[in-house]
Amino acid sequence: GEDVEQSLFLSVREGDSSVINCTYTDSSSTYLYWYKQEPGAGLQLLTYIFSNMDMKQDQRLTVLLNKKDKHLSLRIADTQTGDSAIYFCAEKSAGNTPLVFGKGTRLSVIA
Amino acid sequence: GAVVSQHPSWVICKSGTSVKIECRSLDFQATTMFWYRQFPKQSLMLMATSNEGSKATYEQGVEKDKFLINHASLTLSTLTVTSAHPEDSSFYICSAYALAPAYEQYFGPGTRLTVT
Tens of pLDDT along chain A (111 residues) come to 668 999 999 999 999 999 999 999 888 878 899 999 988 788 888 998 988 889 999 999 999 999 999 999 999 999 999 999 999 999 988 767 888 899 999 999 998
Averaged pLDDT score across all residues of chain B = 90
**8 A C-beta contact, residue B36 and residue B105:** no
pLDDT at residue B29 in the model? 86
pLDDT at residue A22 in the model? 96
pLDDT at residue B99 in the model? 67
Residues 6+ apart with CB under 8 A from B5: B23, B24, B26, B108, B109
Beta strands in B55-89 (DSSP E): 57-58, 67-73, 76-81
Contact of A7 with chain B, judged by CB distance below 8 Å, is answered with no
Q: Which amino acid is at B19?
A: V
Contacts of A101 in chain B (CB under 8 A): 43-44
pLDDT at residue B3 in the model? 86
**pLDDT digits over B43-84, tens only?**
889 999 998 888 899 999 999 999 999 988 889 999 999 999
Contacts of A42 in chain B (CB under 8 A): 93, 107-110
pLDDT at B101 exceeding the cut of 70: no
Contact of B5 with chain A, judged by CB distance below 8 Å, is answered with no
Of the residues A89, A99, A100, A107, the best mutation for testing chain B's interface (the one with the most B CB atoms within 10 Å of its CB) is: A99
Q: Which amino acid is at A72?
A: L
Provide the shortest C-alpha distance from residue A42 to chain B (in Å). Answer: 4
Q: B43, A43: Cβ pair inside 8 Å?
A: no
Q: Which of A42, A98, A104 lies closest to B34 in CB terms? A: A98
Q: B95, A103: Cβ pair inside 8 Å?
A: no
Question: B106 in helix, strand or coil?
Answer: strand
